[in-house]
Amino acid sequence: MHGSTSFVLDADPQVLGSGAAVNITYSRNTDVLECKENSALVPLSSLRCTHALDSTTHMFLVTLGLSETTFVLKTPQDEDSLVNEAVLMSRLPEADFVLHPTHVVTDDVGLLRGVLNVYHPASSLCSMFDSLHPDATRPVLASAGGEASPVGPLVCEAHVGNGRWGCARLAAHADALLGGLQDRQRCALHCRLINYCPGGSTTIWAPPESGPVHWRPSAKGDVFALGLALWAIAGEVGSFEREKQDASLLLPWGPHTPLWFQDLVHDCLEHKPDRRPFAHEIYNVLTLHNDSQPESASAKNCGVGEICSARYRALPPGQRQSIPHRAFT
């Protein structure tokens, strides 16, 4: 919160000691209360911890001062990554699905101690969809070539009319801040539909090529996990099982899920990693459909989506993967 800049003014490079030495020091003016920068800074001593999250050692549920609002305090494990994450999240556009950081937490000497996000209790797909469908059966994803499990109580009204959450997540990957969708240490995006602390490298989300244990996050593995997430959101599936970990998947779909959306998911779940699309291709499909259709329109009225699907499917596989990508690295 303070610093200095030094330089020499009107110096003659041939004369030692010439010129005037100028030293400028600066610090935060705490008296300007209406300043956005000052109002966003809160002292660590003003927080009261209510819960420590079991799945991580650097996130806590806290209250701020006399307020009853619950926040998530994320403390830095790596200072640079936390700063980059806060900057990225702050500049994402407003959306119902994105929880932006609200405060920066500092200690008594002004050093960074963490950032605050408003806590959302339904912060996972499982908790949200299970609350919507408490009696839903857990679908089993059969291997390709078999018979798809029945849709059952799945809603399968594709939530693609508002694809901003997916676009925001891909934007986060484009900044090289994420290395695995299920890696809790690198998860930069705090969405209402995504866990604050995803379950790490869980086998249920792992790609077929990962092996039974300790798979390493990869660009194509992320695409596979994203495909499963898109399918789960379309069907409001809280939890599911996989028949075989190393086999291609046969997904159950409802009657109202657009074909272009099904095609996109199936491409993400290709058994061979090199046949899966790149992040920018998924982003283009989602944004084209979202930008071309009113947010309130039903996913059933997907004429533009069908055009989008046709354009996507018309690309030869070689052209789909010809552009180097920065995302999912």
Domain boundaries, the chain: 1-34, 40-118, 125-320
pLDDT single digits (tens) 310-325: 333 333 443 333 222 2
Q: Is 163 exposed, middle or buried (0-12, 13-18, 19+ CB in 10 A)?
A: buried
Cα 26 to chain centroid distance, Å, stands at 36
* pLDDT for residue 1: 56
* pLDDT for residue 178: 37
* pLDDT for residue 2: 64
**CATH of the domain spanning 40-118, picked from 3.40.50.620, 3.30.200.20, 3.40.50.2000, 3.30.70.330:** 3.30.200.20
**Residue ranges for the chain with pLDDT beneath 70:** 1-2, 28, 53-56, 78-80, 95-98, 121-129, 131, 144-202, 211-217, 290-329
CA distances from 273 to 19, 209, 257, 280, 320 (A): 63, 8, 25, 16, 13
**CATH of the domain spanning 125-320, picked from 1.10.510, 1.20.120, 1.20.1510, 1.20.5:** 1.10.510
Helix (H) or strand (E) holding 250: strand 249-250
Q: 3-class SS at 22? A: strand
* pLDDT for residue 274: 92
CA distances from 8 to 5, 11, 14, 15, 21 (A): 11, 6, 14, 13, 5
CA distances from 270 to 28, 77, 141, 210 (A): 53, 35, 14, 14
Q: How many CB atoms lie within 10 A of CB 204?
A: 14
DSSP 30-66: TT-TT-HHHHTEEEGGGEEEEEE-TT-SSEEEEEETT
Beta strands in 54-182 (DSSP E): 59-64, 70-74, 101-106, 112-118, 140-143
Angle between helices 164-174 and 279-292 (to 10 degrees): 150
- Sign of the CA dihedral running 33, 38, 40, 46: negative
DSSP 292-311: HS-TTS-TT--HHHHHHHHH
Q: 3-class SS at 102? A: strand
Written as one letter, the residue type at 258 is P
DSSP code of residue 273: G
Residue 301 token pair? 């009225």
Query: d(Cα 282, Cα 259) in Å, to the nearest integer?
Result: 15
Note the pTM of the prediction, 2 decimals: 0.50
Q: Are 269 and 171 in contact (CB under 8 A)?
A: no
40-118 with 125-320: one CATH topology? Answer: no
Q: How many CB atoms lie within 10 A of CB 318?
A: 7
Q: Long-range contacts of range 146-152, CB-CB < 8 Å, 24 or more positions apart?
A: 146/243, 146/250, 147/250, 148/250, 148/251, 148/252, 148/253, 149/252, 150/252, 151/235, 151/252, 151/253, 151/254
pLDDT single digits (tens) 27-77: 767 777 777 777 788 899 999 988 876 656 778 889 998 888 888 888 887
